[in-house]
Structure 1
Amino acid sequence: MKGNSSYTPKKFAVIGAGPVGCVLAAFLTRGGYEVTLCDVVPTLLVPALDPGIIVEGADSLQAKVAKVTTTLDDIVSDPPDVIFVTVKATALPLIASALEGFVADGRYVVSWQNGIDTELELAKHLGTKAVMRAVVNYGCVPLSPAHVRVAFHHRPHFLQELDPESREAAVGICEALSGTGLETQHTDRIVDKVWRKSVMNSCMNAICAVTGKTMVQIILDPILLNLVDSLIKEGVAVARANEFTLGSDFYPYCINYLKNAGNHKPSMLQDIEAGRRTEVDYINGKIVEYGAQAGMPTPYNTMIHGLVKALECRPFDEAKAA
């Protein structure tokens, strides 16, 4: 079905074969698009070709991607129209540098990630005209390579270009995504939406990572729920001090959203359990950074950021002790 935009992408690449990237790749493939899935871990890619990516839970589908690769050079040499970056934000500087040869008229890179300012990391290397930012509203957990359970999916998602000259292309990408079942709206307020989601992530993800509890276990614990409340209010204050608009209804919306998240381990806890680096620097760390920019103390985010960073070091410390 033809949309309103003159930009109609046909080939996509998804960088990152984790659960978020697999869900995106599966929807795009089911929508009839040619999709290349890229990851440095070969074992994550093999099942995406056969039997295909399996998605269950809030969404249910199975789809075989067209190609897989373990190197970004393959994507640059056979460029798609749009690249979606779904890896952890900590990998962005390296990925952005490797994609410099991809940039050309009609080609775009979308940050399909959590965290604050991820699109700016891409734009440092690729320029603003080629870069777009999305806010993604589904949560998922890996069951096995290319097999994902979607715990919740709160449509729509949102997307915006960094450069006004790329607006038509951004609208076209939204239309393509929506046509696959990943309803995505174009917005002119993506930074506000990034902050709305990041403040929610800052209060829940990090506490789960430190305590090892699921989201519903945090909500049911009155002491931890009080800490969630303090982190929300501190994040709201920092956002408003920097003139980001969260909306007058944000606090009750945030509490209601979190209470309905279910018995789900967020990605930051999954990373800690797997001994990986987390995205805490791009969530709580950014709130601390923007608080300092506005001359505001951020004791709760400073504390939880430091605790998560200490847990990130644990596998290294244990290996050194052994």
Structure 2
Amino acid sequence: MRIAVVGTGVVGSILAGHLLKKGEETVLVDADPERVAGLKRSGVKIQDPRRCISGDFTVPVQEVYQSIQEFSSKPPDALFLSIKACILEEVMQDVKALKNDRLLVVSFQNGLGTEEVIARALATRRRVMRVVINYAGRIVDSQTVGVGFFNPPNHIGALEPDCVPAARELAALLTAADLATQYSDNIQFQVWEKVILNSALCAISALTDLSIQAVMGMPQLRAIAEGIIREGMAVAGSEGVSFPAGFFHYCVDYLNKAGAHKPSMCADCANRRKTEIDFLNGMIAERGLRAGVPVPYNQTVAALIKGLEYHIPNKERS
């Protein structure tokens, strides 16, 4: 199977590196010319000294491009989108131009509703899949990504029954590449679980420039995080997603154990880059208002992050 990984940040690099290490034909795409040059020169470098996944390694890259159009003459069989949700619609314009009517498109991202953005752009749900990623890491330097943790498995789901066999095949392929992945016939549960957790930690940390540990250690901020969780659960419930007993306490316990880590939204705000807030608290607020579910915590933090985004140059803010 020929695979393309679009976006070589932390998530995309770990994905691409392990696929290449396994010997899968893998094409990499990144809009940053310096990153492309570095990948061509040095390959994908993964630091994993604690062997959270498979240890340290470097693997060469045969094909790396700055745009999807550059490999359109030889399109992939499956395309993994590991880009920020806030640029997904723009990138999908290039994906649509690929001449492969059987192309499988996988949302390998955080955020609520990314798979629906893909399906709308393609005008079909039959070739679209969603993965909920349970690993993370950090950029060590311009050529190296470090693995921070992996809480296996990842989960993959299909939007339509026709795509279930392909989703199972990709789950097996990822698992063989040391990225343990299970097929889920209820992927929206895993999507909502991850969105609620990310929404409870990312925006508050970004607004205060505090680690998750510090946020959860301050009663005033902890109360906001708990309010975000409760609202997220209520909105998910309005869409037919049910959580097991004790889910709220599971979320709080997860945040309590997150440690002195700052989510990437902190760096986005500090460096005046667009965030994924529209697909986290913003999307919870939007869906909550549509369903008549009160969402004051999510509305407020989403609005405050949008206020910080106001400082982004106009061409990047749009």
Could you say what secondary structure the match of 2:97 adopts? helix
For the pair 1:82 / 2:78, whether they are aligned, the reply is yes
Map of 2:150 onto structure 1: 153
Map of 1:181 onto structure 2: 178
The equivalences for 1:227-238 within 5 A come to 227-238=224-235
1:295/1:41 CA distance change after superposition, 3 Å: same
**Which of 11, 16, 29 is equivalent to 1:20?**
11
1:93/1:315 CA distance change after superposition, 3 Å: closer
Residue deviations 1:106-129, cap 9 Å, x none? 420100000011001111122211
Could you say what secondary structure the match of 2:75 adopts? coil
- Alignment partners' CA distance in 1, 2:246 and 2:71: 43
**Which of 33, 36, 47 is equivalent to 2:27?**
36
**Which of 303, 306, 311 is equivalent to 1:314?**
311
Larger mean Cα displacement after TM superposition, 80-89 or 60-69: 60-69
- Alignment partners' CA distance in 2, 1:102 and 1:132: 17
For the pair 1:65 / 2:61, whether they are aligned, the reply is yes
**Is the contact between residue 231 and residue 294 of structure 2 (CA under 8 Å) also seen in structure 1?**
no
Map of 1:204 onto structure 2: 201
Aligned-residue Cα RMSD (Å) equals 1.6
**Is the contact between residue 210 and residue 308 of structure 1 (CA under 8 Å) also seen in structure 2?**
yes
- Alignment partners' CA distance in 2, 1:75 and 1:164: 29
Could you say what secondary structure the match of 1:99 adopts? helix
Deviation at 1:155, TM superposition (A): 0.9
Deviation at 1:295, TM superposition (A): 0.7
- Alignment partners' CA distance in 2, 1:105 and 1:196: 32
Residue deviations 1:138-188, cap 9 Å, x none? 122212223112222111000111121111111000000000010010001
Map of 2:95 onto structure 1: 99
**Is the contact between residue 195 and residue 246 of structure 1 (CA under 8 Å) also seen in structure 2?**
no
**Which of 111, 115, 118 is equivalent to 2:114?**
118
Could you say what secondary structure the match of 2:72 adopts? helix
Map of 1:266 onto structure 2: 263
Map of 2:216 onto structure 1: 219
TM-score, normalised by the number of residues in structure 1: 0.91
1:146/1:245 CA distance change after superposition, 3 Å: farther
Map of 2:238 onto structure 1: 241
- Alignment partners' CA distance in 2, 1:219 and 1:56: 29
Q: Which AA in structure 1 matches 2:279?
A: Y
Q: Which AA in structure 2 matches 1:138?
A: Y
- Alignment partners' CA distance in 1, 2:72 and 2:105: 12
**Is the contact between residue 139 and residue 266 of structure 1 (CA under 8 Å) also seen in structure 2?**
no
For the pair 1:45 / 2:36, whether they are aligned, the reply is yes
- Alignment partners' CA distance in 2, 1:301 and 1:295: 14
Q: Which AA in structure 2 matches 1:100?
A: K
Could you say what secondary structure the match of 1:314 adopts? coil
Deviation at 1:105, TM superposition (A): 4.8
- Alignment partners' CA distance in 2, 1:188 and 1:199: 20
Deviation at 1:231, TM superposition (A): 1.1
Residue deviations 1:207-228, cap 9 Å, x none? 1111111222222223211211
Map of 2:131 onto structure 1: 134
Q: Which AA in structure 2 matches 1:37?
A: L
Map of 1:295 onto structure 2: 292
TM-score, normalised by the number of residues in structure 2: 0.92
Could you say what secondary structure the match of 2:69 adopts? helix
Could you say what secondary structure the match of 1:248 adopts? coil
> What is the total number of aligned residue pairs between the two structures?
308
- Alignment partners' CA distance in 2, 1:287 and 1:154: 25
**Is the contact between residue 4 and residue 78 of structure 2 (CA under 8 Å) also seen in structure 1?**
yes
Structure 2: runs of 5 or more not aligned: none
Could you say what secondary structure the match of 2:27 adopts? strand
Q: Which AA in structure 2 matches 1:99?
A: V
Deviation at 1:242, TM superposition (A): 2.2
